[in-house]
Structures are given as structure tokens and as C-alpha cells.
């Protein structure tokens, strides 16, 4: 029996492949689109049984090539560009493709663990897995929201699935294996490279009632994301849609300070408080981009009540510890 990971050469997908390998799982079918070939690097230190192109995979899935031979599907593949303006592409890539996989998994009674997103919540201040809290600000968020609605509707219609279906609403994920994402890589990634190349980190000035750099997000380390996925793999009786974040919003100032101080530690320099980092010009504030107004989440914080009720009890890594780990990884990997 095989594990299938879509988006396997991507950020979260490759971390899942690596986490499965650490469990001794090698029979993994990696599905992705390597039009951007540099993503292959994310799988170089991983063990897989086969690689299948994204388009070919769906054709083979519908043709029955994998019938009866799949233990679970981790569907992580998607276009995650929140500024993508081609709605037809976004809906075909994120919604229709996911729907085909859902249909196959339900027919085959194969567990489906898929990537949703905190972008489904939009600009609201309550981040709970309920319809009244959801109001996406862009077509990416809408594509994820609509698929979640289909899952909910089918669950309501039949009462329960014969196999597991779990959607994970990832908040602001950061960590190893995301360099291929370029401008869509995490803020932590960009802070590191800003500091290493320019000697300073740039943050947005105040907006939406927040002071400069005080906009807050729920930043979650990718290692924790992989652990949540594997927890549900181990509990196939659990289905539903769950937030995956730390449950604690932290400011961009905190994130930047953790990054700069971790970089300073690489040079045996002591950490500095935020005020001193700003005074020395190691953190600066730049005007808020006009094109992001009305499309920007100035605050996110995962409500973990449902995740905890489902039995996930492990703690999540805070920004200070997670960014320090990530900076060391980035340094080691060039």
C-alpha cells in the first residue's frame, strides 16, 4: 500500500514526505508539477517510491491505476498565491482538482487529509471553524472556502464518511523547504534574507489601527504542521475541518526581532531588545502598500478548541524558538 502526497515537492508537502520517512515510510507516490524545476531540491534528502506529474496523476487516478493500493492521500498541492488574479486557473487548480480527489477517496474509502487555509476567514477577527466566521478576501481564500463547504455539505448529507476526511486550515506557516516559493515564501524567510543581504529588516508601518510592525499573525512552524497531519493519520476515526496554528498571535516586530537576534547569534553577537534594534536601524518601517489595502489580514489567531477536542494535545513552537531553528537551517543550507 502506498501513501500519496500531492504538492510533494512543495513546502508543506516535502516536510510531510520527510516526516513519513522518519517513521520508516518509503512507499510514497510524490505528485507535483515541476514546471519550476528548482522544487526538486526539496525531495533530494527524501525517499519516495515514484514521482507522478500533477496532470498525469489525475488521469491515472480516474483510470483506476491506484484502486485498492493506497493507504492515505495527503492532498497538499495548490496554488497558494494570494495575489493571483486568474480566478479560472485558481478554481480549476484548487477547487476542481481537489473535488476529483475527494470523490475518488470517498469511493475507495481512502483517508483524505487535505490543505485548507486560514485565508478562508478573511478580515474577520474570529477564527473559528464555523460558517459565520468565514469571509475570504481573495480568490485563493474563496477556492479553499468553497471546497470546505463541499466537504461539510457531504458530511451533513450522509451523516458520516466511511473513511476519514480532514481539512487543515493552516495559518502563517514558516520553516525549511520553502525557498522555491519566492515572494510567496514566509515573512520569516524574507526577514532572514533581508538581514543577510542588507543588514536590516523592513516592516510595514501601521494600518488597520495597529502601530508600526504591530500587525499580528499566528505564525506556525512547519514541523508542527507535519505533526498535526500525522496525528490524524494515526486516528482515522477523526474527520472534520481544523485550524492549525499556535493559538497565539505574535507581532511582526516579534518575528523580526527573533530573526535578527538569531542572525546575530550566528556571529556570536548578543540579542538586543526591539527598541534598540530599531534605534540601530536593524529594523525599519516602510509605507504600507496601496495594493494590499482591503486584502490584508492584520490579525490572525487560530481558535484551537476544536483541534484540542479532537485529541491533539501537543504544544506548538513559539516564534522565538521556531525562528531560531529556521535561521540555523537556512544558514546550513546556503
Catalytic residues: 140, 181
Within 10 Å of residue 230's Cβ, how many Cβ atoms? 17
Angle at 122 between CA 92 and CA 164, to 5 degrees: 60
Q: 100 vs 60, 91, 133, 209, CA distance in Å?
A: 12, 13, 27, 42
Rounded to the nearest 10 degrees, the angle between the axes of helix 97-108 and helix 139-158 is 20
Give every CB contact of residue 103 below 8 A, 6+ residues apart in sequence.
none
Decide: 300 and 171 in contact? Cβ < 8 Å.
yes
Q: Pick from 52, 46, 40: which is nearest to 17 by CA? A: 46
299-313 in b/e burial notation, b at 16+ Cβ within 10 A? Answer: bbbbbbebbeebebe
Decide: 144 and 136 in contact? Cβ < 8 Å.
yes
Rounded Cα distance between 117 and 140, Å, is 9
Pairing of strands 112-117, 70-75: parallel
Q: Which residues pair with 28 in a beta bridge?
A: 3
- Cell numbers found for residue 270: 548578543
CA 75 remoteness from chain centre: 12
Cell match 498571535: residue? 249
- Cell numbers found for residue 181: 516559493
Amino acid at each position: 500500500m502506498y501513501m500519496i502526497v500531492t504538492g510533494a515537492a512543495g513546502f508543506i508537502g516535502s516536510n510531510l514526505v520527510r516526516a513519513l520517512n522518519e517513521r520508516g515510510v518509503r512507499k510514497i507516490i510524490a505528485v507535483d508539477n515541476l514546471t519550476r524545476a528548482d522544487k526538486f531540491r526539496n525531495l533530494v534528502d527524501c525517499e519516495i517510491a515514484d514521482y507522478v506529474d500533477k496532470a498525469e496523476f489525475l488521469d491515472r487516478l480516474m483510470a483506476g491505476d491506484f484502486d485498492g493500493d493506497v493507504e492515505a492521500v495527503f492532498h497538499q498541492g495548490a496554488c497558494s498565491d494570494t495575489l493571483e488574479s486568474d480566478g479560472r486557473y485558481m478554481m480549476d487548480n484548487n477547487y476542481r482538482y481537489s473535488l476529483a480527489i475527494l470523490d475518488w477517496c470517498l469511493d475507495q474509502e481512502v483517508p483524505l487529509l487535505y490543505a485548507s487555509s486560514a485565508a478562508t476567514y478573511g478580515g474577520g477577527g474570529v477564527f473559528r471553524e464555523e460558517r459565520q466566521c468565514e469571509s475570504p478576501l481573495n480568490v485563493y481564500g474563496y477556492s479553499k472556502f468553497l471546497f470546505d463547504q463541499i466537504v461539510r455539505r457531504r458530511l451533513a448529507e450522509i451523516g458520516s464518511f466511511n473513511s476519514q476526511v480532514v481539512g487543515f486550515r493552516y495559518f502563517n506557516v514558516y520553516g525549511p523547504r520553502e525557498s522555491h516559493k519566492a515572494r510567496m515564501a514566509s515573512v520569516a524567510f524574507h526577514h532572514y534574507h533581508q538581514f543577510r543581504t542588507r543588514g536590516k529588516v523592513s516592516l510595514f508601518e501601521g494600518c488597520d489601527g495597529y502601530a508600526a510592525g504591530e500587525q499580528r499573525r499566528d505564525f506556525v512552524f512547519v514541523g508542527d504542521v507535519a505533526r498535526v497531519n500525522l496525528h490524524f493519520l494515526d486516528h482515522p476515526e477523526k474527520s472534520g475541518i481544523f485550524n492549525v496554528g499556535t493559538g497565539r498571535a505574535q507581532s511582526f516586530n516579534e518575528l523580526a526581532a527573533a530573526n535578527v537576534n538569531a542572525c546575530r547569534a550566528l556571529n556570536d553577537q548578543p540579542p538586543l531588545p526591539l527598541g534598540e534594534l530599531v534605534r540601530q536601524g536593524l529594523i525599519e518601517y516602510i509605507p504600507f502598500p496601496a495594493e494590499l489595502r482591503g486584502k490584508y489580514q492584520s490579525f490572525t489567531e487560530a481558535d484551537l478548541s476544536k483541534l484540542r477536542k479532537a485529541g491533539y494535545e501537543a504544544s506548538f513552537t513559539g516564534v522565538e524558538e521556531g525562528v531560531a531553528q529556521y535561521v540555523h537551517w537556512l544558514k546550513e543550507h546556503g
